[in-house]
Structure 1
Amino acid sequence: MSLSVQIGLLLAVGTAFGSVLGFLYKQRGAAESPAVEITKPIRSTIGLFRSRWYLLGIAIALGSWGLHVAALALAPISLVQAVIAGGLVLLTVTADRLFGYRVTRREWIGVGLAALGLAFLAATLEGGGSEAYSSYEVGRLASWTIALSVLATGVALAARNGPHAGVMLGASAGLWWAASDTSIKALSDQLGDGVVGVLIDPLALIIFLASFVGLLVSARSLQIGKPVPVIAVTSVAANVMTIASGPIVFAEPLPEGTADVVLRILAFCLVIGAAALIPAPRSADKAPGAHPTGPGPSVSGTG
């Protein structure tokens, strides 16, 4: 494994913790803010940014995002996401110990299995530690990004008035961010064009739009859903699709042996099963003790 890839993976570790911490602070801020209306993005954004907790979460998330961008520029996208996915286990510990949320056994198990499955899913890629794999075909990237955007929109529309609206909106946000992350990886191949060249590249606009829409959808999901399930499913959706972009968009090598292929399929099934396990049944969502017991703003909504 090259030194640059090792540095990229080290940055991914920082990304993982920053992402979890930023998510939890954003949840506190979103819970005390006016309801997000996707059709009124400017007003909704202003309402969110009036919360000091949300501002703190955004600041931490921006730092994490910067580390993520650097990691994607140095290492294969699947390996970066594998490290970040493994960091998902930090969610339950941080939510329980630092934020005082009551994390159920179902959530502990579901998040742990999801992190394990994601790590195995990415680890089955072969030869990924020798280079960054940033080259791509424009048509393939465009098709992948459009597909993710359409899927994210469909999931968000299906979430309306559903029994797990918060979790489904979280999945939608994760899909938007997967589109953004894939575009960031593609844009990292243009770093030789300089800052101006990167900023005027069409991919920069796609990154901004996908990130912004994902931010609003995520804020709404955090307002109406329980923190741990929503954040976990958001992370799973983002990681699965971003890992998949490695071989699909950037031609990262796939395993050739039958055993590796079977392991990859089993890992994917484990991730999907774990994601389905994390949200509690509707009746359990309404049970007492779903709110945080620690200091700070209370959680609004039960999703």
Structure 2
Amino acid sequence: MSTQIGIALAFLCAIAANLGFFYKHRGCNEVPTIDVKHPLASAKALWGSKWFAAGMGLGFVGWALHVGAIAMAPLSTVQVVLSGGVVLIAVMADKLFGFSVDRRQWWGLGLMACGLALLAFTMPGGHGPGGYSLEAMVAFEGVLLGLGGLLLLGPRTGAPAEHHGIMLAAATGILFGVCNVAVKALTEVIGMHGIVGILSPWVVVAVLASATAFYASAMSLQDGDAVSVIAVTGTTANIACIAGGIIVFGDPMPQDLLGIAGTALAFIMVVVASALTPAPIRSTAAAKAGVALGGAAA
């Protein structure tokens, strides 16, 4: 019975998290452009939007439901449910928020959901032996922070404007991964040393990654297509967390040929889906032009 409850909580988590992102997208696009040189003013403007505040609230609810889900059901089962939740992005965009979702994006989201579900199925159940390698932790977090930094700088280094939102979304997902891996390490430290473990440097890493992701996410929702940005953010964060579990905490990998082949295929499917999910450049440009004209007419 507990597994069924966990599955239900995971499904509700997918709904809350995705719905929260759409609310934040609406809020982000009714405030001035995020200016990293004035972070406090930008944060005040964002939180001043009722849509954005509601989205953040739903995001917290989604996080709480996720914690409840993994406490009640096997992690692999929860991952499968959350993977299927990727398709909800298109349904919500089309039915609730009036976004146009083209066939290419439907295919991309469907392939992404299948790839993530296959990855969850092929990964062995259970966690690592406990504890983590400090060297692996430092190296992994350092690589992720480097990749995230490059993606954050992309819009400032001459990257095509139509790719800015996707690059920022990928950076956001990576930073969420940095934060989640740091929090996991923090729980290990507290488990070994008690409440004094809260003084661990991983607290600083988690806070800085979370704060940076807050602004990166807002900028991605302002610059990019909502469907693409939400899908890429969630998928990148999911992949980063799975990789962290394997590399840092020693979570088991598939040992048989079928499992290895399935895992490799799953990653290929996610990569191809990530390329399909962004809206075509021409339609994105046209949509932005339409918004601009609409705003001018108003």
Q: TM-score normalised to the size of structure 2?
A: 0.86
Higher relative contact order (CA 8 A, sep 6+): 1
Q: Which residue is equivalent to 1:216?
A: 215
5 Å-filtered alignment, 1:90-169, equals: 90-128=88-126, 135-160=131-156, 161-162=159-160, 163-169=162-168
Query: In structure 2, what is the Cα distance between the partners aligned to 1:52 and 1:80?
Result: 31
Contact map agreement 1:175 1:241 (CA 8 A) in 2: yes
Contact map agreement 1:75 1:133 (CA 8 A) in 2: no
Contact map agreement 1:126 1:253 (CA 8 A) in 2: yes
1:26 Cα deviation (Å)? 0.2
Cα separation, partners in 2 of 1:181 and 1:7, compared to 1, 3 Å: farther
1:134 Cα deviation (Å)? 5.4
Cα separation, partners in 2 of 1:79 and 1:39, compared to 1, 3 Å: farther
1:202 Cα deviation (Å)? 2.7
5 Å-filtered alignment, 1:280-295, equals: 280-288=279-287
Compare CA radii of gyration and give the structure with the larger one: 2
Give the aligned residue type for 1:28. Answer: R
Query: In structure 2, what is the Cα distance between the partners aligned to 1:219 and 1:104?
Result: 24
- String of CA shifts for 1:75-126, please: whole Å, max 9, x gaps: 7766654432221111111111111211111111111111110111122112
Residue of 15, 18, 37 corresponding to 1:20: 18
The answer to whether residue 85 in structure 2 is matched with residue 65 in structure 1 is no
Contact map agreement 2:128 2:251 (CA 8 A) in 1: no
Q: Which residue is equivalent to 2:242?
A: 243
Q: Which residue is equivalent to 2:37?
A: 39
Greater per-residue helix proportion: 2
Cα separation, partners in 2 of 1:92 and 1:269, compared to 1, 3 Å: same
Cα separation, partners in 2 of 1:41 and 1:134, compared to 1, 3 Å: farther
1:215 Cα deviation (Å)? 1.2
The answer to whether residue 84 in structure 2 is matched with residue 86 in structure 1 is yes
The answer to whether residue 229 in structure 2 is matched with residue 230 in structure 1 is yes
Query: In structure 1, what is the Cα distance between the partners aligned to 2:25 and 2:271?
Result: 24
Gaps spanning 5+ residues in structure 2: where?
Answer: none
Cα separation, partners in 2 of 1:70 and 1:134, compared to 1, 3 Å: farther
Cα separation, partners in 2 of 1:146 and 1:289, compared to 1, 3 Å: closer
5 Å-filtered alignment, 1:182-197, equals: 182-190=181-189, 192=191, 196-197=195-196
Residue range with higher mean Cα deviation, 197-206 or 85-94: 197-206
Q: TM-score normalised to the size of structure 1?
A: 0.84
Q: Please, what is the CA RMSD of the aligned residues?
A: 3.0
Contact map agreement 2:12 2:65 (CA 8 A) in 1: yes
1:65 Cα deviation (Å)? 2.2
Query: In structure 2, what is the Cα distance between the partners aligned to 1:133 and 1:218?
Result: 34
Contact map agreement 1:69 1:184 (CA 8 A) in 2: no
Query: In structure 2, what is the Cα distance between the partners aligned to 1:204 and 1:289?
Result: 40
- Percent identity between the two aligned chains: 39
Paired residue total? 290
1:194 Cα deviation (Å)? 9.8
Cα separation, partners in 2 of 1:271 and 1:45, compared to 1, 3 Å: same
